[in-house]
Structure 1
Amino acid sequence: MVLDDAWQRRQTDLMPQSPDRILTGILLMIGFTVTAPVMDSFAKMAAATIPVGQIVAARFLVQVAVLLPAAAILGCLSRPTLPEAGLHLARAMLILMATGAFFTALGTLPLADAIAIFFVEPFILTLLGAIFLGESVGWRRVLACIAGFAGAMLVIRPSFSAFGTVALLPLVTALCFALYVVLTRQVAQRLHPVALQAWTALAACLVIVPLLAGASGSGITPLDPVWPSGVAWVWLAGVGLAATVAHLFISAALRLAPTAVIAPLQYLEIVAAAVLGWLVFDDLPDPQALAGIAIIIGAGLYVFVRERHLSRLPPPPP
């Protein structure tokens, strides 16, 4: 693939990070894998009475309400340039499509099943990181991805024949989210994570809110908003707060560590999903699923231990 001069200059900004920063990025990514399924659980509970589009809107409205003031207080809310505004809008469109597709899938699929199908995403992400970001992908990291995916299959054993075309929606989420992460790498190096997420959330609101307003009373089920009642307010607020925390984690992680390093760690998300599925939705993993969880944990810990080992090696001679 031939890269133009501007892209070549951008690669200079993406030089390898120091070992300490990489390890911090790994820990932040683990925080994301724990928090993201919490958001999905709230969304699944809200989907019983609230249209998907409205749940997506609540996710970004809460994020804007929390992050814009926080970014202003931190003094990092600088006005984006025109190219940065374009990247924010592109990220917003991708995360809107990813979130909408996944929340729609959660209306039919069990939480852990949907996440298991989604886990083709690290393969897509690793490939995109190598192609567009120039990141090296060693055979050990490839094997860690394969092992994690095999573990996910043991946990869930998703069946497209059982759920029909709705099972394709997490695949749409996987592609959109991988592209979202690649775009995040383009701006995360020069923007504070709080400001980054605040501007993207605002851009998402500028898209989804008018769309819902136009669909009001239309009878289009996914977009026609309703007035929440009772505990539904809690579920909507929980979606927004959990999403805010989760994506702050991943923005900071991508700022510190290469994509190929943190991609295998995303498999830890299936562990949190299995635990939440048991506690919230009474979905207890069977022995084969527990074996898969063990494989996923092993693959994630391997990446962490290997990075720690590499950080202790002396630097190569000039």
Structure 2
Amino acid sequence: MAISDNLKGALLMMASMAAFTINDMFMKMMTGQVPVVQLIFLRGALTTTAVSLLAWRMGAFSGRIAPRDRVFVALRTGAEICATYFFLTALSHMPLANITAILQALPLVLALAAALFLGEGFGWKRLVAIVIGFIGVMLIVRPGAEGFTIYSIYGLIAVCFVTVRDLSTRRLSRETPSMLVTWVTTVAITLVYGVVSTGVDWAPISGREALLLTLTSGSIFCGYLFSIMVMRVGEISFTAPFRYTGLLWALALGWFAFGEWPAPLTLLGAGIVAASGVFTIYREARTGRRTPLQYGPRIR
């Protein structure tokens, strides 16, 4: 039986979310034993090799970054460098499902930012969905509650930097190959954290950490690859909501690997954020706007 393009896209989206969440699990397993900046550099060195091979296979190096796009590529790269640090630092101190749920607010924040800074249309239905989604985020973060920490704020800061990244990506012209932009970002992250890591005491890498680094590099590469493939099949409006399967993976892996299970209010907030995000994506599809998921894989 032939599989439709939409079903292929949905399966690829779910595979991408699974790969990224598995990467998060492996990274979280190493935090505490190895400094975050050291982990980012070592993972980046391995990932850059794989991404370079993929970019070469796709012919990305034969393209070029249009002159008008260079400032946006630089801004995008800087935002991703910062988002990586804040996300992984929050991940090392928060339950996997909690930080994953906070990151699901990205389509809501991006829709609001696009209206404010790019002049994209903004109806009252989308505004209501965004407000409700932010209420869901507050249920997850719960400022003032006993379980609230500075790392909840780190998660929100990561969302802000990813929003800057995606807004910058929206301004890129079609002449600039997306895979080339991905390669530039990967190389930049590796170089920057390679320099930063010289300022910390490196931890020795045991056989366990070496294995986990290999696995996390492989999983994030698969996440990138599936994210690229999903944009080539199916309708974005159909496949985009399947990004929220990442929450299910985070719940399952957080419980399996760390014995974590979110509080009922956190689960409620995650459900509200996911529902609001799906509605926002649906509204963007109905009005013919581009959705955030068209602009590359999420930060990890």
Q: TM-score, normalised by structure 1?
A: 0.69
Residue identity matched to 2:106? E
How far apart, in 1, do the equivalents of 2:92 and 2:59 lie?
40
Q: Partner amino acid for 1:167?
A: S
**Correspondence list, 1:48-197, <5 A:** 48-78=32-62, 80-81=64-65, 83=67, 84-150=69-135, 156=140, 158-159=142-143, 161=145, 162-187=147-172, 189-197=174-182
SS of match in other structure, 2:172:
helix
Q: Per-residue deviation at 1:80?
A: 3.3
In the aligned structure 2, how far is the partner of 1:108 from the partner of 1:176? Answer: 19
Change (3 A) 1:303 1:110: same
Residues 54 and 261 of structure 1: is their aligned pair in 2 closer, same or farther, counting only changes over 3 Å? farther
- Bigger shift: residues 139-148 or 25-34: 25-34
Residues 246 and 45 of structure 1, relative CA distance in 2, 3 Å threshold:
same
Contact kept? 1:64, 1:198, Cα under 8 Å: yes
Distance 1:287 1:188, change over 3 A: farther
Query: What SS does the corresponding residue of 1:225 show, helix, strand or coil?
Result: coil
For residues 1-318 of structure 1, the aligned pairs below 5 Å read: 32-78=16-62, 80-81=64-65, 83=67, 84-150=69-135, 156=140, 158-159=142-143, 161=145, 162-187=147-172, 189-212=174-197, 214-215=198-199, 220=200, 224-248=201-225, 267-285=244-262, 295=272, 298-299=275-276
- SS of the residue aligned with 2:214? helix
- Compute the displacement of 1:293 (Å): 5.7
In structure 1, list runs of 5 or more residues that go unmatched: 1-19, 312-318
Q: Provide structure 2 residue ranges, at least 5 long, that are not aligned to the other structure.
A: 289-300
SS of alignment partner, residue 171 of structure 2: helix
Q: Which residue of 2 aligns with 1:4?
A: none
Report the alpha carbon displacement of residue 205 of structure 1 after superposing the two structures with TM. Answer: 2.0
Bigger-Rg structure (1/2): 1
Larger deviation, residues 231-240 vs 137-146: 137-146
Kindly indicate whether the alpha-carbon contact (under 8 Å) linking 1:135 and 1:259 is maintained by their aligned counterparts in 2: no
Say whether the 8 Å CA contact 2:45–2:190 is kept in structure 1.
Answer: yes
Cα distance between partner residues in 1 of 2:281 and 2:5:
13
1:278/1:285 contact within 8 Å kept: no
Query: Matched residues in 1 for 2:150 and 2:135: separation?
Result: 22
Give yes or no for contact 1:125–1:263 (8 Å, CA) kept in 2. no
Query: Take 1:304 and 1:123, find their aligned partners in 2: how far apart are those partners?
Result: 9
Q: TM-score scaled by structure 2?
A: 0.73
* Conservation of the 8 A alpha-carbon contact between 2:108 and 2:277: no
Q: Which amino acid aligns with 2:54?
A: A
1:60-87 CA distance string (max 9 Å, x none)? 2222111112221222223534744544
Deviation at 1:303, TM superposition (A): 6.1
Structure 1 residues 301 and 172: alpha-carbon distance in aligned structure 2, compared to 1, 3 A threshold:
closer
Alpha-carbon distance change, 302 to 137 in structure 1, aligned in 2, over 3 angstroms: same
| Structure with bigger RCO (C-alpha 8 Å, 6+ apart) | 2
Give secondary structure in 2 for the equivalent of 1:113: helix
